[in-house]
Structures are given as C-alpha cells and as structure tokens.
Amino acid sequence: MKNLRVFVCLWLMFSVSCENFLDLAPELGITERVVFDDYESVRGYLDRCFDLVVDYTHWNYQDSQRAHPATLSDEAAHTYDIGWIKTVINPGDWLRQPNAMEVGYSTEYVGHFRGKVIPSAFRGIRISNTILERVPDSNISQAEKDKLMGQAYFFRSWFYFEVIRRWGGMPLMKKTFTPDSEQDLERLHYHESTEWLIEGLDHAIGLLPDVWPASKKGRPTKVAAMAVKSMATLYAASPLMRNDIYSTNQYTDYDQEWSERAARYAHDVIHYIETEHTARRLEGEGASGAERDSLYRHIFYHRPNYVSNEGLWYINNTDRDHDHHLAIHYQNSRWSSRPGNWGWGLTTPSQNLVDMYEIINPADGKAYPIDHPSSGYDPQNPYAHRDPRFYNNILPPGHAYGIDAAGDPCYLEPWEGGADYATDWTRSVPTGYFCIKFIPPEAKGWNKAGYNMYNFSCNLIRTTQIYLDYAEAMNEAYGPNNDPLGYGMTAAEAINRIRSRVGMPPVLSQYTADKVSFRHQIRNERAVELMFEFHRWFDLRRWMIAEDVFSDPYPIRGMQVRDLTPEQSDVSQKEFFYEVVPVQTEIRVFHRRHYWYPVAADHTDQLGAFRQNPGW
C-alpha cells in the first residue's frame, strides 16, 4: 500500500502536459464545459492518442536510432553500434536508463515518434480517462458520445496493456488522479490488471462501430477491441504471468482457466470475422499458385487498398516517408543507393530465424523441420524447397531481388570479393541475409516511385495473429486435436489453415500427438508468420524461454559464404561454400530479472511501498 498523493505526483510527471490542449481563456468566455460540449474539440483532444501509439516501423521510433525491434530478440542482427538496443538493451543494462528506448521513462518527446512507450502510455491513459469522465455530462449527441467513449475505452485498455506487458501488474488507472486525491493504491497481480483491462474492452466492443467511414479509416473498431481482448488474455494465460508480481522464480505451465478464456475470446474474433466482417478473413485462403503468392505478399504493402485486408489494429504510415524508414531498416548503403544516412541502420535476419523455415521434401510432399532426418536438408544447398514464406520474407546470399539502375538483377553478395562485403558497418551484412518482407520488388532504393506504388501500415494485430493466438490457447486448454466446446476448429486445424493458405503442407502428425510436442510447432509458426512484427520479443519473455534462447555467449548466428568461383562474373552461375557461424558483434545478456522491465527509478526512489520488479 502507498499514499496516492506521492504516486500521483509522479504519474502526472508522465502525463499532465497533455492538458495543454485544455488551456482555456475564461476572460473570453471559453470554459472547459464549452470545450467538452463541442464534438470536434473533444475528438481533437482524443486524437492525441494516435500520436502516442508506438509505430515500430518508423526508423527512429522511441529514439531507437535505426534499430528495428527484431534486434531485441533472436530474429536479427544490427550493424549500427551506437543505438539503445546495442548499448543498453542487448547488454542487459536496463536499470536507471531514463532515455533508453523500451526501458526508458523520460517524458521528453512524448507525443512524438521518439517518445518512450511507458510515459506515452501513461499520457494516453490520462487523455482517455478525461474523455470518460467529462463526455457523459456534455451536451453533445448520444451517438457522438458513443463514438468518443468507445475509442477512449479502447485506448485506455491498449495503453494499460502496453504498460503491464513490460512492467507487470499495476494499480488500476480508472480516473484522472490529481495530487490532492486521498486514497491508497496497491500494485495488483497481472491477472487482476488484465481483468480490468478486459472490462474496458467490453465497453469498447459495445460502443465502437464495425467500420468507420472512409474519411475516418484507421480509428479503432469493434473487431480491433475484440482482437486486443484476445491478445491480452493469451498473455495473461502465459507462464510468466502466473508468477507473483514480486517474483520470477516460478517456471510453470500455462494457466488452465485463462487459456480457456483466451481460446473463447480468439474464437469470438474469428467467428465475427467469418460471419460479420468477411473483408478481414485470412488473405489468400483458397487461392493457389501466383495469385496466392501475390495476395500474401500484399498483406505487407498494399494497392489500391488503404491498409492490409488483414489489418485489425494498425497505424497507417503511407504518408510518413515510408520509403525512408524501410530503406534504413532493411537496406545497406549499396542497395539504397541514396546520399546521406540511407541504409546505415541495416537490420539483417538471423540464421536462427532462417532455420525455423521448414523444408518441403519433394519426394513425399511433406514439410519437415530442417533437423528432421526426412527433410533432405543439404547444408551446401540450404535454400532449396523451403517454406514459401521464406522466399517472401528473406533474401539469401547469391539470390536476386528487383533490378539495379542498369536494369539488371540485383544480387545480394555478402562474400569476400562480393559487392556487399565490407567491414564498414554502413554496408556490412553480418548475417548474410536481407529482410524483403516489407520491400516491394519495384522499390529500387534510388527511385521513390517503386515505394509510392503502395500503401503501408504498421500492423499491431492482424487476422493471422488471432488464429495463432487461438491455436496456442486451444492447445494449452484442450490439447492439439480437441474441440470440446464446438468452436469448429482444433488447435492443429487452426495452424494448418495458416499454413495451407501459403502452400505449406499440414504439420506432421508426430508433432500433434500431445500438447507439449505441438507447443513447439505453434511457437515456431508464430516466429515464421509474425517475423519482424514486434511479437517475438514479448513471446520469448511471456513463455519464459529467453534465458535458454540467449544462453550462448554469441547466441545470434549468421551464414558465412565463400565464393568458390571468383573468376565467374555472373552471380547466378557462381558456386558457394556455406558455413553457419556466430555473429560476434551480437550479444544478448538476459537473466531472470529481465523478464520484467525495471520500474522507473523516480517511482521506486520516492515511493517507499511501491516495490521494484524482482532482481532490480
């Protein structure tokens, strides 16, 4: 327990400047009541929440300095060696780092793309609470009240979820506290925090529309609130969240009751999409061949639609210099072929990730993990017959993507003597791979027109994720092959639907025999399907497996390529020798205390009863 007065003073440091919008001029007859009796004024105030949602596709989100969040986990390596991920997060030095991305708590830049996630979330909660308190008594119409209240409930729950999945259970933040408030608060268990979050989402679901008019597109909808509810409940079911808030000593199984609820809520989303909101169904399901491949590719860049058909909760960033962000995240200086710092922050997929893409054995048409004796995996022909998503997402060494300025195929050449071989970090490719999942083949770095052919969105939740959430929850609640409540789909069937729509065979029956065996397959499927969509970092932590994944001194691996035919100028005719090696510029220090971020130092310094997270 603690005195709220001190807690509120600290919380207001995070959030109070948002009230600048409500600076009034009573001498001109402008009062707070007048502001809240005008729908457009209140909507403008609420819309500040959009600037507080983290857009991880921006090259400098949270002041990240060119580092994509994939480099937090085992998905990728990163060449830019002075950013927060490389100097603070990956070395495990998280305590008292107010300016660092993710773990920082400085209020500088809040409301700007460089703002840190925690103080931004606190401000979003305060804005939402102000709306929820003032709008019911305003004189605007009931229909307008419902639109505002529905969005406010949604944003409050989303921002609260952003806090608790990093800090753990927190006090309920259901009103706009002031320094004069007199009551006690206590930090709650993660499950209690999630219950309140779900309550808010249920209000949002009852108030939000199915769709917004085209001019309002991008606002949260009913299905967005349902999707956040599904996602948040699956988190609550996970092993980490079963721990007491002051301990991470318990390595447990999933919570049975919460797994059942997560399965039910995911089913509710899927049923709603398939019966009421069919435009959001799995993209490409039922198609085949080139049409299927094209539909899948355009989940990640779109034409002519404004956002992906799979987008449930997203930020549209078509007008935010998306070509600049994509080039900085995924292209080195040769490929971007632009002056200045284009391509300097190269993020390259890891061999760890590449190895998760299965092989389709042409002899029997079945898909196998690469270490399976029937996979036919050849270390010297490592990219043959892989999961089609591999070719959609990753460009391996010696392969071409798009064309260069002369109209010739543009090859990735990270071997000694190759065009992409360099010790200079502005050009090096430390793992040997490029990410092409979000880069159209028409997007030649020196020609913005290739990018501008498409719209882009930062997917926070898309339809495929809900199927993955459903599969994980169903497996933990009932096993891989059971559907006792008649939802119409088992965990195994959900995973196989995701695989089928990209041309992947079903999961081998030997992996669907029991819950534990299938758990690994579900997690592998999440890594492949949600690659670089800012899920893997949270998954490794909520599953409590990050310590194992990062146990080696250099846990991130890459592919070292040796050119066996240096006299051959045609890259397509070259022969190579491949060797998997550790990337020694990449470290990951992760101990038990890193499962939760440290709570902001000014909280624990000044609040005697507000205890720090365990280990910090």
Q: Which residue has the tokens 């599953």?
A: 543
Indicate whether 141 pLDDT > 50: yes
DSSP state at residue 313: E
- Residue range 125-144: mean pLDDT, rounded: 95
Residue 4 has a pLDDT of 42
pTM of the entire structure? 0.94
274/285 Cα distance (integer angstroms): 12
Write down the mean pLDDT value for the chain.
90
d(CA 590, CA 551): 8
pLDDT tens digits for 340-356? Answer: 677 777 899 999 999 99
* Per-residue DSSP letter, 410: E
pLDDT digit string (tens) for 201-260? 999 999 999 999 988 889 999 999 999 999 999 999 999 999 988 888 778 899 999 999
Q: What is the mean pLDDT of residues 65-72?
A: 94
- List residues bridging with 434 in a β-sheet: 395
Position 603 pLDDT exceeds 80: no
Cβ-based neighbour number of residue 236 at 10 Å: 28
- DSSP letter assigned to residue 287: -
Using CA atoms, how far apart are residues 583 and 74, in angstroms rounded to an integer?
11
Any idea what DSSP says for residue 30? Answer: -
Which residue, among 62, 18, 96, 89, has the nearest Cα to 603 in the 3D structure?
96
Tokens 């995924």 — which residue? Answer: 330
How many helices, marked H, and strands, marked E, lie in the chain?
A: 21, 14
| Residue spans of alpha helices (H) in 168-219 | 190-207
Of residues 518, 461, 462, the one with CA closest to residue 495: 518
pLDDT band at 427 (very low <50, low <70, confident <90, very high): confident
Query: 184 pLDDT exceeds 80?
Result: no
| Contact in structure between 499 and 525 (CB atoms under 8 Å) | yes
For residue 77, report the phi and psi dihedrals to the nearest 5 degrees.
Answer: -115, 165
Long-range contact set of residues 338-342: C-beta below 8 Å, sequence gap at least 24: 338/445, 338/446, 341/66, 342/445
The two structure tokens encoding residue 593: 């205390």
- pLDDT above 60 (res 453): yes
User: At a CB cut-off of 8 Å and minimum separation 6, what does 391 contact?
Assistant: none
Strands 2-3 and 311-316: unpaired
pLDDT band at 426 (very low <50, low <70, confident <90, very high): low
* CB-based contact 85:100 (threshold 8 Å): no
Distance of CA 265 to the CA centre of its chain: 20
Dihedral sign (CA 174, 177, 182, 186): positive
Query: In sequence order, what E strands does 80-196 have?
Result: 184-185
Residue carrying the six token digits 């990730």: 353
H helices present in 460-552, as ranges = 463-478, 491-500, 515-529, 536-542, 546-549
The rounded distance, in Å, linking the Cα atoms of 285 and 279 is 12
Task: Average the pLDDT over each of 250-254, 322-326, 444-448, 572-576 and give the range with the smallest value.
Answer: 444-448
Six token digits for residue 93: 């030095």
Domains of the chain: 2-245 (1.25.40.390)
**Token digits for 237?**
């079911």
Pairing of strands 557-563, 576-582: antiparallel
Residue 487 reports pLDDT greater than 90: yes
